[in-house]
Structure 1
Amino acid sequence: MAIISQKVSDLTGKQGDDKQFAAVVVRQHPEIDQPKALDVLVPELKGFKDISAELVILEVTMPDGTKKDIYVPLEEFNQAAPDMSKVLKEARGTRGRLPGTRVGNGQG
């Protein structure tokens, strides 16, 4: 006797072997309070429209130090300033020295 194991899609209940499945983690959804893992057949991924190219993800740090992520459609984000491309190009980076600062102790 042999034991055959097959996975079942969490979305459709269709069976397949391990090589046919993608692991999908739902990180945020209004009905969950922690990430959830789904087994999904690769062709079923077509049911999810990827809007990442049209989405801007902002990390906001409030004055009290709390942080949260905000997801904004690209079109709305670009309307926040008359020339958002220029604003982004001239914004300081998150790594390294602040613009205008020099290395050294100021004595030489």
Structure 2
Amino acid sequence: MAIVSKKVSDLSGNEGNDEEFAGVVVRQYPGIDQPKALDVLVPELDQFKHISSDLVILEITTPDGKKHDAYVRLADFKKAAPNMDEIVKNARGTRGRVPGTRVGNGNGS
């Protein structure tokens, strides 16, 4: 007797070998509280519209410290300010020192 293992798409149930599959992680979806992994045949990926070039992903931290992600169309994000490209380009980074600060020992040296 032999044990046969086969891989099937979570979307269609169609079989394939490992080289024919892509991994898809669903990070946010109604009714789930943690990411979920799907095995999907590569041709089935065409069903998912790739909109990353027209999408702005924001991480918002409210005054009470809670964080959540927001996904906004680029055109809508740019409506928030007339010079949004310049604002984002000149914004401080999230890592390192705040622009204009200097390293020192606190006594002016």
Name the TM-score, length of structure 1 as normaliser: 0.88
Report the Cα distance in structure 2 between the residues aligned to 1:17 and 1:107, rounded to whole angstroms: 66
Q: Secondary structure at the match of 1:93?
A: coil
* Alpha-carbon distance between aligned partners in 2 of 1:83 and 1:107, rounded to the nearest angstrom: 37
Deviation digits for residues 39-85 of structure 1, max 9, x if unmatched? 11111111111111111111111111111111111110011000101
TM normalised by structure 2 equals 0.88
Give me the CA root mean square deviation.
1.5
Q: What's the CA shift for 1:27?
A: 1.0
Shift of 1:38: 1.2
Task: State the SS of the aligned residue for 2:60.
Answer: strand
Paired residue for 1:87?
87
Aligned length: 108
Residue matched to 1:44: 44
Structure 1 Cα separation of the partners of residues 90 and 21 of structure 2: 44
Q: Secondary structure at the match of 1:37?
A: strand
SS of 2:45's equivalent? helix
Q: Supply the AA of the counterpart residue of 1:19.
A: E
Q: Partners in 2 of 1:42 and 1:35 — Cα distance? A: 20
Cα pair 1:55 1:71 within 8 Å, conserved: yes
* Structure-2 separation of matches of 1:89 and 1:79: 16
